[in-house]
Homo-oligomer: A and B are copies of this chain.
Amino acid sequence: MQDAENKMLEKLAGFLKIVGDTNRLRIIWVIGKGERPVSEIINETGLSQTLVSFHLKVLREAEIVETERRGVFIYYRLGNPGLIDLLSACGEYAHKLTGEITPGFTWPCPPWFNK
């Protein structure tokens, strides 16, 4: 029972660690707009090919993203598009913590996240 909680917290920490990286978030944000081949992800993020490949592997192994090969290209998409909502809620939370105002950006928060 205590053990079950610990196990879940470890799993949660693992997940948060994976999404808690700026470059991976950048990638997730690109893919969140719709499936993309790796080359597109490289272009849109401006990251090096190997670095993108490295992070995609992490996301793949965590089953956060899915892949599909079509010809030469390998398309990546989110396993569950709800991830953007979830992360946006976290972003909104984090944003309020610091209290700063960053114009030109609003988190695409789902309706359920008011406060």
Number of copies: 2
A-side interface size class: 35 or more
Chain B residue nearest in CB terms to A113: B112
- Cα A89 to Cα B12 in complex, Å, equals 10
Interface stretch (choices A34-42, A50-58, A68-76, A94-102): A94-102
Question: How distant is the Cα of A90 from the Cα of B113 in the complex, in angstroms?
Answer: 13
Q: What is the minimal beta-carbon distance from A99 to any residue of chain B, in angstroms? A: 9
Per the 8 Å Cβ criterion, residues 11-59 of A in contact with B are 11-17, 19-22, 25-26, 29
> A-side interface residues toward B, CB under 8 Å?
1, 3-17, 19-22, 25-26, 29, 62-64, 79-80, 82-83, 86-87, 89-91, 93-98, 102-105, 107, 110, 112-113, 115
